[in-house]
Amino acid sequence: MLYREALKKAMDELMEEDETVVVLGEDVGFYGGNYRVTEGLYAKYGEKRVIDTPIAENSIVGNAIGMAIGGLRPVAEIMTVNFSLIAYDQIVNEAAKIRYMSGGKVSLPLTIRMPQGVAKQLAAQHSQSFERIYASIPGLRVFTASDSITAYYGLKQAILLDDPVVFLEHELLYAQDFDFIDIPHFDVRKQRLIKEGNDITVVSYLKMLHDTLEAIKDIEKDLGISVEVIELTSLNPLNLDKVYESVKKTKRLVVVNEEPKTGSFATEIITKVIENNFYDLDAPPLRICGEDVPTPYNRKLELLSIPTPDKIYKKIIEWGKENGL
């Protein structure tokens, strides 16, 4: 199933079941969405439930907050995470705090969908990743969708929550076709074991998960080891029980994500693992992240600024040989 179709399937099924579920954003209606995620929903549900908005992200989120307070279950689409900065005050100072500042009297069933990451030559202002920013805000839930399974199940669970959720997608995954299976008891908060292994635990999410899996085939062959891979589907709340158990077995941890290394979410994961598994580790954890630079427009420089399968392979091979593998 295509990634974008899984996202639409989640919204379509909930819109059929519950007339309070509405969608709003730039070009989500007649045009079907910038990435075709909402294609067909406007014709099926009409302009009152699939709402085209002006190019005004602060207004989109502000109106969605009002809808949620008024009893609706809105899904607001921000065209990319880069534009969410314009709505940052509404997301952080309003959405995240309303339940707490009302003494629990007002819940906010709001989902804010937005893609992030480096696509292809969109330059510095349109190629950012902000999971570290949103996951650090108390009151927000932050989920990620790395394939069609987490896109479908994760988005459904986000929409059904009574708390505000930032739902992060990746710009290069919308047209990807992933295997899809029914998982009746899927829980977005529990992370996913993607591949079992015995010698290294690798944690990743979004597009970097797939680049990591591509690199691991050669890493296992050349080092003669097996690698365990865990996908983070929820960054807030951050339940790392699967990672802790895996590190007890493998004794080694690698985290791969796309955002710049300094202050990246990889740092938070590694900190928690060290706090929990300090005496289990046989090697210092490895972060493979983006470089600490604004993303260049030049394609060669752009690829140098982010992890790629080849870069992931070289860094893990070098680190593995330095640490007894």
CATH classification of the domain holding 260: 3.40.50.920
In a domain, residue 184? The reply is: no
Residues 62 and 102 in one domain: yes
Measured CA distances, 274 to 131, 153, 232, 283 (Å): 21, 31, 17, 11
In a domain, residue 182? The reply is: no
In a domain, residue 317? The reply is: yes
Residues 165 and 217 in one domain: no
In a domain, residue 151? The reply is: yes
Structure tokens at 138: 């108390």
Residues 128 and 210 in one domain: no
Residues 71 and 165 in one domain: yes
**Residue 133 scores a pLDDT above 90:** yes
Residues 213 and 168 in one domain: no
Based on the residue annotation, tell me whether 57 is a catalytic residue of this protein: yes
Residues 146 and 203 in one domain: no
Number of independent structural domains in the chain: 2
Residues 228 and 168 in one domain: no
Residues 145 and 290 in one domain: no
**Residue 123 scores a pLDDT above 90:** yes
Q: Considering 173, 205, 227, which residue would you say is the last residue of a domain?
A: 173
The mean of the pLDDT values for the chain is 97
In a domain, residue 186? The reply is: no
pTM of the prediction?
A: 0.96
pLDDT at 236: 97
Is the link from the previous residue into 237 a cis peptide, with omega within 30 of 0? yes
pLDDT at 213: 97
In a domain, residue 101? The reply is: yes
Q: Could you read off the pLDDT of 269-299 as tens digits, one per residue?
A: 999 999 999 999 999 999 999 999 999 999 9
Domain extent, residue 282, equals: 192-322
Residues 165 and 33 in one domain: yes
Measured CA distances, 113 to 33, 181, 287, 316 (Å): 12, 23, 27, 33
* Amino acid code (one letter) for 239: N
Query: One of 17, 39, 94, 126 is an active-site residue; which one?
Result: 126
How many secondary structure helices (H) and strands (E) does the chain include? Answer: 12, 12
Residues 29 and 140 in one domain: yes
Q: Could you read off the pLDDT of 46-92 as tens digits, one per residue?
A: 999 999 999 999 999 999 999 999 999 999 999 999 999 999 999 99
**Residue 97 scores a pLDDT above 90:** yes
Q: What is the CATH number of the domain that holds 132?
A: 3.40.50.970
**Residue 202 scores a pLDDT above 90:** yes
Query: One of 13, 39, 47, 57 is an active-site residue; which one?
Result: 57
Q: Considering 144, 173, 202, which residue would you say is the last residue of a domain?
A: 173
Q: Could you read off the pLDDT of 1-45 as tens digits, one per residue?
A: 999 999 999 999 999 999 999 999 999 999 999 999 999 999 999
Q: Terminal CA-to-CA distance of the chain, rounded, Å?
A: 38
Residues 35 and 160 in one domain: yes
pLDDT at 184: 86
Residues 199 and 151 in one domain: no
In a domain, residue 253? The reply is: yes
Please tell me the distance from the alpha carbon of residue 86 to that of residue 60, in angstroms, as a whole number.
10
C-beta separation of 169 from 114 below 8 A: yes
In a domain, residue 181? The reply is: no
